[in-house]
Every structure is written in structure tokens, then in C-alpha cells.
Chains A and B, each alone.
Chain A
Amino acid sequence: MQTGRTMLKDITIGQYYQAQSLLHRIDPRVKIGGTLIYVITLFFYKNFVGYAMAILFLALVIRLSKVPFKFMVRGMKSILFLLMLTVLFNLFLTPGTPVISFWKLHITQEGTTLAVSMVLRLTLLVIGSSLMTLTTTPNNLTDGMEKMLGFLKVFKVPVHDVAMMMSIALRFIPILMEETDKIMKAQMARGADFESGNLFARAKALVPLLVPLFVSAFRRANDLAMAMEARCYRGGEGRTKMKPLKYQTRDYLAYLLLFIFAAGSIWAGRLHLPMLMVGLNN
């Protein structure tokens, strides 16, 4: 028996894990910038020493974040298929010295190392970036982005408005999910069936769910716009913040640590170590 709540709880967009940790307190700009640097760094490695360093670094950061490891793994489920596909293609389609051959398929030495490095890279990528959303509230995240992209205002990009839209959208995800859950249950109580039948029947079964959901979304949007206008909201011009983002000593230290990691692991990751090279580069 699957009920609405259990069906929807696997979605992890903008999932935030409440905890008291250094990583939670750090400035969101550091976390966004840091994640970006970390992700780019992952693409420079040519040997497994680099990956080892990245794993070590990630383990340290996860430790600091106090978020249980199973929350990171949850994000992995969504890319499991992609991961397997990558492994298959890399294993069989990389030219090089064959290790095992059967029929027309050859598993090459180069393919094996390439597949392993791809899995490592993707896993590190997903866990690393989900760590950012797990330790930063959506509001903090958009705040940081607004500040980081502030320079675009010079080119007449409405940075504030976009950031506001994003934070409202993120804010509404849990509300709309709850609403969906509620309407789904209400229609199920009237005998609606969302789970059986062919594709066409299922799509048709969504009408009693989607119509009320849209009606309520529009009603909520209307109410929110009214409430914002009643409090004199008129865009970002001259608007001040209750909690302006300000770099602390720990934020500079975090940047320093990140830089050391990036520089160090790229240097080590590009050393020529014959036994530990990835793929075709030896």
C-alpha cells in the first residue's frame, strides 16, 4: 500500500538537513564558490592520486557537516542508471589492450581504469554538490547567489528579481508537495486510482489532481503578491537586508583550505605515475 506521503518523500530537491555544524554556519558564497572549484578540480585529474585526495577532502568536509552519510547516498539513487550506463560504455568501447574478451566484446585495461575514474568522478560530483544543498537553507543559497552575481547588474540583468523568484519557488516546493499529497488523498478517498492502468489511463487520472493543484497554486501566488505589496515590496532598488552576508575569519580560512586542496590535488593529479594513470594517457 503506497500512500501519497511515501510516494513523494523520495524527491530531494533543495533538501536541507538541520544541524549545528561549522559547515552550516559558513557563508553561503564560500559554499557555492567552493562547490564550483571542487567540481572543476575533479576534471583535471589524470591519475588516481588526485581522486584519492578528493575522497579524503570530501570525507573531511562530510565529517565537519555532521550530516549522516545515508543522506548523501540518497541523492545517488537518482544517478544510478546513468552511472551503470557510463560503466558499460567505458568498459566495452574503449580501445586498448584487451584484458578479457568474449565474442566481439573486449574489456580493455584502459576501459577499466576509465570506467572506475568515471564512477569516482560522478559520485564525488553528486555527493559534493548535494552536501552544499544539505547544509545551506534555500534562502541562504539564493542570498549568496544574488550577492555573487551582483556584478551582472551593470549589464542590466535583474539579479535581485531572479533571486527573489528562485527563493519563492524553492519556498513553495514543500507547500505544493504537501498540497499534492492532500489532494491525492482526498481524491483517493473518493475512489480515485493513481497507480493502475496504462499510460493513457494514468495521465487521465491526473486531471483530478492537477486541476485543484493549479487552482491552489494560483490562489497562493495571488495571496503572496498581495501580501508583498501590502508591505511595500517594489523590487531590489534600495532594499536592505536584515542579515547582510559578511565574510568572517572562518570564511577566509575556508577559502584558503579550498585553494590549497584545489592546487595540491591538481598538481598531484597530473603527475605522471605509470601504474596509477587513468585511461588512454599513458
Chain B
Amino acid sequence: MSEIEEEAVRQNYSEQEKTSIFDTEFMIHVDSMYNFAYRLTFDEDDAKDLVQDTYLKAFRFINSFERGTNAKAWLFRILKNSFINEFRKKSKQPAKVDYNEVESYYNSDDAGENITTDLRVETVQHMIGDEITGALNALPVDFRTVIILSDLEGFTYEEMSKILDIPIGTVRSRLHRARNMLREKLISYAKEMGYNN
């Protein structure tokens, strides 16, 4: 649990304060937390377990949280670490993607440069939410994660950098690659489905 406690100024909350923080600052994010967990695990029960586990840890280490600071980012960080450290090991997570390999490919000169020019707004508008979500779910988890954090949860690059433990420059490039990968998937999907692209 050192990742939760590191860099934190230790607080000394009373039981009443702990309950109040948990209710007013943590529980309001349960919906976002569950959706994040579901988009990582693709399984309702697993998502539920992951969220419960995250909240248990959050309560256990509540003295490492400074009241009034960014509770959502703090919780997301715990959830992401739980997913990586414990959950992914035992999960039915399908493809084990070599993240470094994927990222270095997408950062290389070999990666397609015209990905974003081939997708039309009208094509996307013809698609339904399920199809776009399917394309997002098909991305390797590290790329999927940055899109979820940025485009669905509205985190800034700095917040994402803290949640994911990566430099801001890496957030920026990973997000750009992830969005390109998503568009590439949408183009393939549109062609497959006969959308007029």
C-alpha cells in the first residue's frame, strides 16, 4: 500500500471525521468508479469486487488523504493500482499485451500517419454507442485507460500523470496514440459494416 501513503502528509482524523469524509468526499464517486472498473474488467461482478476493494483500501488509508483535495483522482489511483497489482493476475483478462511494444510501435515512424484523416464525423454519428464502446474496449488496457480518464472522466493531464504514475509527456503522447488507435478501429468497423466512409 505504499503507493497510497507515499508523498502524503499523514492526517489524524477522528472516527466521526473519517465517516464524514468517506460519505461526502468518497461515496459521491461510486458511479464513476464502477464505470471505470467495468471498462477495465468487462465483467459486472469483477467490477463490483474491484470497487469494493478500492473503497476498503481508501477507508483503511484514509489518514493519507488530505480533506478537500482531489478525492476522485486519489480513488482512481487506488483502483488502477488494485487492478494492476491484484486483479489482473487472477482475472480472465484476455490478451496480455506487451504495452511497451505497442507504445513504441505507435511512437515510431512505422505507425500510420494518416489515420485521423480517414474518419468522417458523419460516419461516427451513424454509429451507435455500443459500436464505439466496442472499439474502445478493443484497445490495449493502457491506451483504453487514458481515453476513459480524459474523455469520459475529464481528468487533466496532470491528474492522469498522478493516477497512472507516468510523466505528463507520456500522458500526452499516449493519449494521442490512443485516440488514433480508436479512430483506426472505427474506420475498420465502418468499412466492415458498410457505413459510407
Q: Do A and B bind each other?
A: no
Residues of B within 8 A of A (CB): none
- Please list the residues of chain A having a beta carbon within 8 angstroms of any beta carbon in chain B: none
